[in-house]
Structure 1
Amino acid sequence: MSKFSPCLWFDGKVEEAADFYVDAFEQGAIKQTDYYVDSEHQPKGSILTISLTLAGQEFILLNGGPEFKFTPAISFYVECETEEQIDQLWKKLSQEGNVLMEYGEYPFSSKFGWVADRYGVSWQLVLAGRPQSIAPAFLFTKEQSGKAEEAMNQWISIFGDGNVEYVQKNPDGTISQALFTMHGQPFRVMDGGAVDHDFTFTMATSFYVYCKDQEEIDRLWDAVTAKGKEWPCGWMEDEYGVCWQTVTSDMEKLFDNSDPDRAYRVMQELYKMKKIDIAALRAAYEKKE
């Protein structure tokens, strides 16, 4: 299992979006669908999340409601192997979408384009001549502009097992483009510079962080929220406005809705929490009525 998985917050149409992405990517597959077991946030029985894989990367699509909207502050950088592959992917993702950088030739690649798809999720496509891969890309704008390098180094320090692979700087010392890895997964950061962007990070795009135990959850929670914010249900916002969610490998079992009453107990326990308490969730799971 990968350490990090992007979580995309949708206002309905989550099933439609999952089908759209699986169709767009050659290596796309739906893994699991989970449903609401109460009616506090969405109608009982409606879809809660759909997990899928695209080019080997897990994505979680969350049916959360209208509170948050996607912005280009977080996009997904897709390296494509062949011209046919990138042409087809661009055609599908740009249909009914909003082109942010025209698809064509650039100094760094013979084919590149940046598009927000019909749901608002942003994708950067580049012809790289390597097997298709996806890397989250963070664009630091507004008051966060100029902090890309600082954030990259901080994330590596907090989440561990990281390495800076490549850095290209602007004349003023800000980051034009940087590539780094954490736990073997690629990430990119950029500074917005002098461009007057009207967007920044939102909770519409967050990242699952799979933790091995309560000790790791506690450590990450303290480090990320030290200058950030605590949110319910294991969500934590760092000082740059990027959101992360602590989850464990057995949460899939704990929230299994094959037993609706048990799933309801566990979900009600989760709603009481900010930082995840694995023991409390397991106690709710094992409780006998």
Structure 2
Amino acid sequence: MSDKIIPCLWFDKQAEEAAKFYVSLLPDSRIDKVHRAPDDYPAGKQGDVLMVEFTLAGQSYTALNGGPYFTPNEAVSLQIMCDDQAEVDRLWGALSAVPESEQCGWVKDRYGFSWQIVPKRMNELLGDPDPSRSQRAFKAMMGMKKLDIAALEAAAHGA
């Protein structure tokens, strides 16, 4: 894995709290370094947490306490590819904080960031060489909030 491109997540003042929460959810995740502001800045005071470097499932990220000037939106989301329904259910329960934002495997967390909680099997079904199977799985997915692997499989099979 290369650390040439590192996503930076903008927070008002919750960068450290959010990073700790995110790393608690996935293996191969950790807080790497917490940087404190060397001086006062528009969003905080000297000594406040300014930036948190963290690793999430092996990928480097930065969380920045930049103040209330920008907020996350759905134009960018974080996608987690899940091995099974238990992982989908666990991550959905942990991350979903805005039920009215849920659709087609998407959730919004308590910090305003959008996540796609996707079973790996979904991509396999959407890429099925039989277009009718793929279409049925797609239509089933479009009617779901949290993705249900068994229901997607049943739809693909025409049940």
TM tier, smaller: 0.7 to 0.9
Q: Distance in 1 between matches of 2:93 and 2:3?
A: 35
Amino acid of the structure 2 residue aligned with 1:153: K
Q: Distance in 2 between matches of 1:268 and 1:252?
A: 14
Pair 1:245 & 2:116 matched: yes
SS in 2 for 1:283: helix
Q: Distance in 2 between matches of 1:174 and 1:160?
A: 28
SS in 2 for 1:250: helix
Which contiguous aligned blocks of 4+ residues in structure 1 show a shift greater than 4 angstroms? Answer: none
Amino acid of the structure 2 residue aligned with 1:162: S
**Are the aligned partners of 1:234 and 1:275 in contact in 2 as well (CA < 8 Å)?**
yes
**Are the aligned partners of 1:146 and 1:174 in contact in 2 as well (CA < 8 Å)?**
no
Of 135, 144, 155, the match for 1:284: 155
Pair 1:148 & 2:15 matched: yes
Which structure has more relative contact order (CA 8 Å, sep 6+)? It is 2
- Structure 1 residue aligned with 2:42: none
**Are the aligned partners of 2:81 and 2:118 in contact in 1 as well (CA < 8 Å)?**
yes
Of 268, 271, 274, the match for 2:139: 268
**Are the aligned partners of 1:147 and 1:191 in contact in 2 as well (CA < 8 Å)?**
yes
SS in 1 for 2:150: helix
Aligned residues: 151
How far is 1:287 from its partner? 2.2
TM-score (norm 1): 0.49
Q: Distance in 2 between matches of 1:287 and 1:165?
A: 48
Q: Distance in 1 between matches of 2:91 and 2:137?
A: 23
**Are the aligned partners of 1:175 and 1:189 in contact in 2 as well (CA < 8 Å)?**
no
Structure 1 residues 92-139: Cα deviation after superposition (integer angstroms, max 9, x where no partner):
xxxxxxxxxxxxxxxxxxxxxxxxxxxxxxxxxxxxxxx662211111
Unmatched segments (≥5 aa) in structure 2: 40-44
Amino acid of the structure 2 residue aligned with 1:169: R
Larger radius of gyration: 1
**Are the aligned partners of 2:82 and 2:120 in contact in 1 as well (CA < 8 Å)?**
yes
- Structure 1 residue aligned with 2:5: 134
How far is 1:191 from its partner? 0.6
- Structure 1 residue aligned with 2:60: 186
Q: Distance in 1 between matches of 2:28 and 2:85?
A: 19
What is the RMSD of the two structures over their aligned residues, measured on CA atoms?
A: 2.0
Q: Distance in 1 between matches of 2:114 and 2:124?
A: 24
TM-score (norm 2): 0.85
**Are the aligned partners of 1:158 and 1:224 in contact in 2 as well (CA < 8 Å)?**
no
The structure with more helix, counted as a fraction of residues? 2
Structure 1 residues 40-82: Cα deviation after superposition (integer angstroms, max 9, x where no partner):
xxxxxxxxxxxxxxxx6xxxxxxxxxxxxxxxxxxxxxxxxxx
Aligned-pair identity (%): 36
Of 225, 236, 245, the match for 2:107: 236
Pair 1:161 & 2:8 matched: no
Taking a change above 3 Å as real, the CA distance of residues 155 and 228 of structure 1, as seen in their structure-2 partners, is farther
The structure with more strand, counted as a fraction of residues? 1
Q: Distance in 1 between matches of 2:123 and 2:4?
A: 26
